[in-house]
Structure 1
C-alpha cells in the first residue's frame, strides 16, 4: 500500500511532481515550518494579550522556543529522518538559540529603534508592526538560517545512510505511448 505522501504526490500535476520529489526535504521542512509558524503565532498572541502584555519580545521568544521544540521533533522524525544523537541535539539547540535571536531582532528594532509602539503610534499600528516585524520578517529570516544550518551542521547523517538516494517506483500505469513520471519509494 502506498504511503500517504505517495498518494498525495500521485494527485500533483505531472509537471510539478519531479520538482517536489527532487526537493522533498525542503517541502517537508516548509510543511513543518508552516505548522510551527501557526503554533508560534497562536502562543505569541495568547501570551502578548494576557500575561506578557507589556513584554512583546519576551512573548515572541517564549512562543518561538515552544515552536522550536515541536519543530525539532517533527524535523528529526519526518523531514530529515535523522537518528537520535546527543551531538545532534546539542547542535540543534545551538542553531535554534541563534535562530531565536535572529527572529527577535526585527521586533526589537521595530519597537525600540523605530519606536513603532504606543504612545508614538496607534495601538492598531503597533500590533501590525509587531506582527510584520516579529512574525513575518523575523520568522522568514530565521527560517532561511535554520534550513541552511540544519542541513549543514545538525542533520548531516542523512546523506551518509545506505540507500539514502531516491529509490524510484512507477505509481501510475501509463497509457499507450505515454511514460508516467517515477516517484521515490522511500518518500513517507
Structure 2
C-alpha cells in the first residue's frame, strides 16, 4: 500500500472522505509547504550573506529555485492524473504561470521595502526582518499560491487532457481503496 493510502487508512471515515475528495488541493498544499521551506532557506541564506543590500533579488532567486522544485513535484505527484500535453509545452506553460506568480509574490515585499520604507535606517532591523517575512513569505506567497493553483489547473494541467495519464497507476488508487 502506498504511503498516502496507509495514512488515509488510519483516519476517521468522514475526514478521509474530505481528504480524498480534495486530494489534489491537499497535495498541492504539501508541495507548497515543501517549496516554502526551500524558498525561505535560500532567501535568508542569500539575503544574510552575499545579497544583503538586495533582498528582492535574493527573494527572486529563491523563488525561481523553489519553482523548479515545484514543477517536478506538481507534475509527478499533485497533478499526476491531469495534463497530457507534450512535456516541453507543459513546462513552458508551467514556467509562464510561475513567472507571473513570481511578480505577484514580489509585489508585497517591494511595497514593504520601497513604498512603506520598512527598512533600516527608517525602522529597526527586527521590524525590517519581520516586515520582509510577513510581506515576502506570507502575503506574497499566499497570493502567488492562489494564482498558481488556479493557473495550473486551468492551463498547465487541465483535467480534460488528463485521460491518458489516468491510466497509469497512482497512489490515489491505493488511497481510494483504503476506505473500502
Q: TM-score, normalised by structure 2?
A: 0.89
Partner in structure 1 of residue 39 of structure 2: 40
Q: Relative to structure 1, is the Cα distance of residues 100 and 113 closer, same or farther in structure 2, using a 3 angstrom cutoff?
A: same
- The one-character-per-residue Cα deviations of 1:71-97 (angstroms, maximum 9, x if unpaired) are 000000011014552211110010011
SS of equivalent to 1:16: helix
Deviation at 1:4, TM superposition (A): 1.0
Alignment of 1:48-127 (within 5 A): 48-81=47-80, 82-83=83-84, 85-127=87-129
Choose from 131, 140, 143 the match for 2:142. Answer: 140
Structure 1 unaligned spans of 5+: 172-180, 183-188
Q: Which has the higher contact order (CA 8 A, sep 6+)?
A: 2
Number of equivalent positions: 172
Q: Is the 8 A contact 1:44 1:60 kept in 2?
A: yes
Q: Could you tell me which residue of structure 1 aligns to residue 18 of structure 2?
A: 19
2:150 is equivalent to residue 151 of structure 1: no
Structure 2: gaps (5+ residues): none
Q: CA 1:169 to 1:130, structure 2 compared with 1: closer, same or farther past 3 Å?
A: closer
> Does the Cα contact within 8 Å between 1:103 and 1:142 map onto a contact in 2?
yes
1:21-64 superposed Cα distances (whole Å, 9 cap, x missing partner): 00101000000000000110100000000010000000100000
Q: Is the 8 A contact 1:25 1:79 kept in 2?
A: yes
Q: Normalized per residue, which structure has more helix? A: 2
For residues 3 and 99 of structure 1, what CA distance do their matches in structure 2 show? 32
